[in-house]
Structure 1
């Protein structure tokens, strides 16, 4: 039987590695040094899918992906929300009191700021969380600890000195599942998300007019990110998520109106809404028992 591979950015034990295992437990995770390498692995067939973080509830958007995804030639076929938990990891036999320095990715350090300050640790930035765990294991120094995952502790044979040290309990990362070929979710088969990129014409009120169709057609837009492209201050590209299917009349009309005011419009994916998204909205609307769609 051919083993299917799913690419992710980072070293073994990273949160992206955990996401791969949670969603595709029978697939082989393929670690990649950079986001570019992960996207290239999907594009050249080294991996059939990719698990890529796109935004975090605390740190915000993953900027590299917003720039890389539109030109990658890849498509979004699913989403996954992973609650983020960080552990303080040291070599076997380390006493918590012996630690003076902690190492991790800059975002992980920022998301554990209260814990680091409370214990007076010196914080050092590493390339990623799992990489910091590997380094601590290699150094063999009781004074140095990593902020990483439970999985990293198992892989690199480290002790968990303190568990769940993140500052905020709602810390969650949203991942998108990428594929070389588009795979639209079927129509009328549960809640879906449509992701697309567009560039508006450089004329007054172009964005206002372009987005008007979503309001008049009652299409819920849950994400709208803007960023410059090609080094031009006047060339702005937008990435948007809406909760609707392009084959449904409301979104079809909204996209038709959007296209009239755009220089470019490309649908990146039409995929099932993850249960976390639906449950969060149900809680906001006071309906915690709302049914959940199928998970990717």
Structure 2
């Protein structure tokens, strides 16, 4: 595999704080950066110039994927083309990548390739297109496959859901952020409008059962209860629409997006059937290399840390932000007691670590802001483990 030049951020005076080994620019860039942040009495962050670093794959409990196994998809073109009417050949759509089926594919080098979990028509695909309107979307069957696709240079970015305003957090992706060495480079907020889909000519009163993701079904509980429809869980919303189109059963519908109806040739028999109209999902944009944060716009920084048990210890951790007038937008705790977590370090080597709780926090400040630097310098004094997952522009489009 090719070597690439990458600046490395280190904590000069504090060895306990694990700020991500970061590399900037594209994989073709060999620029050197001399950027230095002072943390006053808490230590310094220094950019130590370029370091040759090998492109790597994640360390997991299972065997690593070897190049040359399987194919990405059956067709050379993975960009989705919307068509009207029923899809006569559903096999013509891109086949989702799996974690055991990842091999390089030629690219024209012009379009950004973005991985997402699901099949064409998924809300995650819509989020990817919102972030990169001219991108080439690459479906993956699981979140894990999307992470690996980025790490293996098969795609440039991954867009994955992290929380929904109704359904809450997607905990699996929180855990995968530690299992892999990707960086958060952006976020996308997408308004979710669920539609009731059926085969052409079918009325909603004819439907006896409906397929969809469990969260989507829960978000439409009142509407589906009124219709007396039996709910059947499916892996994802667009996959449910695909199954309805493939099975051809007139008494079966799906809860999915309007885009899924167009792709799979289904009719929209009811729109906006979610119980809560303010239904928004937040997605993270992940990449191999971080961006250089600035102060020219609103930025958000995401971190994860652990603490020793003791009275008031979490209060002390949160106080480092309050003392500097930094607003917290998200705090998520993940219990890890008696369950080891395989954490990948800067050399891409994983080791099993035991933590009582992991705390994920998003706060409104850029890592270029001295307040954020000082807050993290203060936090490292009593945090057992600390990692910066990314510092990136906020999505203020809603």
1:197 maps to 2:304: yes
CA drift at 1:246: 2.2
Match of 2:387 among 257, 266, 275: 266
> Aligned equivalents of 1:164 and 1:4: distance in 2?
31
Which moves more between the two structures, 265-274 or 93-102? 93-102
> Aligned equivalents of 1:176 and 1:21: distance in 2?
13
Q: Secondary structure at the match of 1:194?
A: strand
Q: Secondary structure at the match of 1:47?
A: coil
RMSD: 1.4
- The aligned residue for residue 60 of structure 2 is none
1:136 maps to 2:244: yes
> Aligned equivalents of 1:247 and 1:21: distance in 2?
29
- The aligned residue for residue 363 of structure 2 is 242
Match of 1:226 among 310, 316, 333: 333
- The aligned residue for residue 141 of structure 2 is 33
Deviations 1:161-190 (A, max 9, x none): 11111111100000010001111332x211
TM-score under structure 1 length normalisation: 0.90
Q: Secondary structure at the match of 2:114?
A: strand
Match of 2:374 among 243, 249, 253: 253
Match of 1:70 among 161, 178, 203: 178
Deviations 1:182-207 (A, max 9, x none): 11332x21110001111112344322
Deviations 1:36-82 (A, max 9, x none): 01111111111100111000000000010111112210000001100
CA drift at 1:4: 2.5
Deviations 1:91-134 (A, max 9, x none): 11112221111110000000000110111111111111011101
Residue ranges of structure 2 left out of the alignment (5+ in a row): 1-107, 341-353
> Aligned equivalents of 1:84 and 1:224: distance in 2?
23
- The aligned residue for residue 163 of structure 1 is 271
- The aligned residue for residue 291 of structure 1 is none
- The aligned residue for residue 42 of structure 2 is none
Q: Which has the larger radius of gyration?
A: 2
- The aligned residue for residue 43 of structure 2 is none
- The aligned residue for residue 210 of structure 1 is 317
> Aligned equivalents of 1:251 and 1:39: distance in 2?
28
TM-score under structure 2 length normalisation: 0.67
CA drift at 1:234: 5.5
> Aligned equivalents of 1:246 and 1:270: distance in 2?
6
Residue ranges of structure 1 left out of the alignment (5+ in a row): 280-296
